[in-house]
Structure formats: structure tokens, C-alpha cells
Amino acid sequence: MTAAPTPTRYQALILGGGDPGDPFAVSHGVAVKGLVPVAGQPMALHVLQAVQASGRVDRIAYVGPTTPEMDALIDLHLQDSGRLLDNLAAGLEALGADGSEHGRALVITADIPMLRAEQLCDVMDQAESHPGAGLLYPVVPRSACEAEYPGVQRTFVRVRDGSFTGGNLFFFDPGLAVRFLPRLREVLAARKAPLRLAALIGPGVLLRLVTGRLTVRGLEEAVSRLLGVEARAIITPHAAVGTDVDKASDLALAEAVLTQR
């Protein structure tokens, strides 16, 4: 009998920082969104617990303010710069500083408290089928979101394969981060300037995306060319992956789900 392949081991970077004065955090009396209480504990603690319970992560780095309960689950605590990409770059650099023996990097935001360990493992299993990809990004079909959380408000992008919302976790090869992060900065800086964005992505790709004629595979190819690494999408049915908490209705949903759980 052939033995089952050994699952890939991961190192995790959890992004729990934020802009000082974030209205949602301020309204709940905390410094950053990840510390907003959900079902009696900071939402970031729910995420930390799911990551640890997956049993597939060797060490966890965390960016942002924490509590003592959170600190018990964190191996490497990094200072929050207040800027997402700077936090991402610093975190990936720290995780890759001693080589790649710790495996692929899981980057996850601290505001998806409904994520369960078994859901995370399922997405990791899907990532196994793309061993050469430098960037993997889960997306959730609209139908899955609406079936799991009726009435939830998400931003969906329509492509030829269907309508999807983006997930709040990524898989990176830490060794390749230096190649695509500068380009990613350019894309984010141009996101509100259509002509500049079209020049980066390609006007044909942008037109097909806007008109819903772009396929998921076509989008993967465009992102791969743009960033200079192989990028692949992971279509997951787990709505929790794409449901972050950043407004009152999201918080009410998370409270209900986690209280029942």
C-alpha cells in the first residue's frame, strides 16, 4: 500500500495591525479591529486558535497589539507599522530570515473569527495541488456565501465562471516575496487611477474584467505576468474565509455564529 503524502508544513503570519483611530475599533474601545470582542474574546484570538488547531503550522508570527491570551499562541511578535504592505513585507522577511525549512507561508488577517480549523486545513489541502505557485489566493463563490450566511454583505467580482468574493488569507513562497511585493505596491497605489491601473494590468485584461468576460484562469495568468511569479486562485466553499468583520452587521453575524458554536 502506498503511504499518503506528508502534508505541507506552514508558518503563519497574522496581520492584526491597523490605522490608529480606526472608527470601528474606536467605537468598541480598542486600539485595532483585531481586538474587538466577539463572543467574549478578541476576534484575533479566534483566528489564532483556528490556526493553532489546524495542526499544520510550525510557528506563528503576529503583527499588531495583543492580549496575554493571544501572546500564549504567538511565536514571533512584530511591531505594527500601520501600513498593510509594510507589515506584510516585514512579516515575510522575518519568517524567511532563517531559510525555507519551515515551509510555505500562510498570511491571514485577524478579522475572520468565524474561520474553523478544519476549513483552514481544507484550503491548505487544495493548495497542495499547486506546489510550484508563488502566490495562492482563495476566492469564495457568491452562492456559497449567501447559502452559509443569508443576507451577508460582501463585494463580489463577476467573471465568466461566476461571481466571487476574495478570501482573507493567502499562501506565499517567502523566498519569492522580494520579487512581487514591489509590483504589488504599484498595483495598490494605482487602484483608484483607471488609466494607470490599465497600463499595469493591460487594457484588454481590464476591459474583460469590467465586462465580466474574463475567466478565473485568465485572471490567474494576468496576475502571474504582472507579479512575475505563478499565481493561482483556490475556489473554496467556505464562506468564513471571505467574511471579515468590519461593520456592525458583520459583528452581529459573528456573535451569533460563534455563540451557537
The confidence band for 210, taking pLDDT boundaries of 50, 70 and 90, is confident
- Which domain range does residue 160 map to? 10-260
Pick the most confident of 34-43, 101-110, 199-208. 34-43
pLDDT at 197: 67
Within a domain: 67: yes
Q: Domains in the chain: how many in total?
A: 1
Q: Is residue 106 part of a domain?
A: yes
Give a yes or no: residue 250 inside a domain.
Answer: yes
pLDDT of residue 207: 81
- Residue 131, pLDDT score: 86
Q: Is residue 4 part of a domain?
A: no
Q: Is residue 113 part of a domain?
A: yes
Q: Look at residue 150 and tell me if it is in a domain.
A: yes
Inside any domain, residue 62 = yes
Model pTM? 0.90
| pLDDT band, very low/low/confident/very high, at 32 (cuts 50, 70, 90) | very high
- CA dist 84 and 18 (Å) reads 8
The pLDDT of residue 102 is above 60 = no
Residue 142: pLDDT band with limits 50, 70, 90: very high
- The three state secondary structure string of the chain is CCCCCCCCCEEEEEECCCCCCCHHHHHCCCCCHHHCEECCEEHHHHHHHHHHHCCCEEEEEEECCCCHHHHCCCCEEECCCCCHHHHHHHHHHHHCCCCCCCCEEEEEECCCCCCCHHHHHHHHHHHCCCCCCCEEEEEEEHHHHHHHCCCCCCCCEEECCEEEEECCEEEECHHHHHHHHHHHHHHHHCCCCHHHHHHHHCHHHHHHHHCCCCCHHHHHHHHHHHHCCCEEEEECCCHHHHCCCCCHHHHHHHHHHHHHC
CA dist., res. 176 & res. 80, Å (int): 23
Residue 176 predicted with pLDDT over 80: no
Mean pLDDT, residues 96-116: 80
Q: Give residue 91's pLDDT.
A: 85
Cβ distance 34 to 130 under 8 Å? Answer: no
Give domain status of residue 40, yes or no. Answer: yes
Query: How much of the chain, in percent, has pLDDT values that exceed 90?
Result: 56
What CATH number is associated with residue 248? 3.90.550.10
* Confidence category of residue 194, pLDDT binned at 50, 70, 90: low
Distance (Å, whole) CA 147 – CA 30? 32
Average pLDDT in the chain:
88
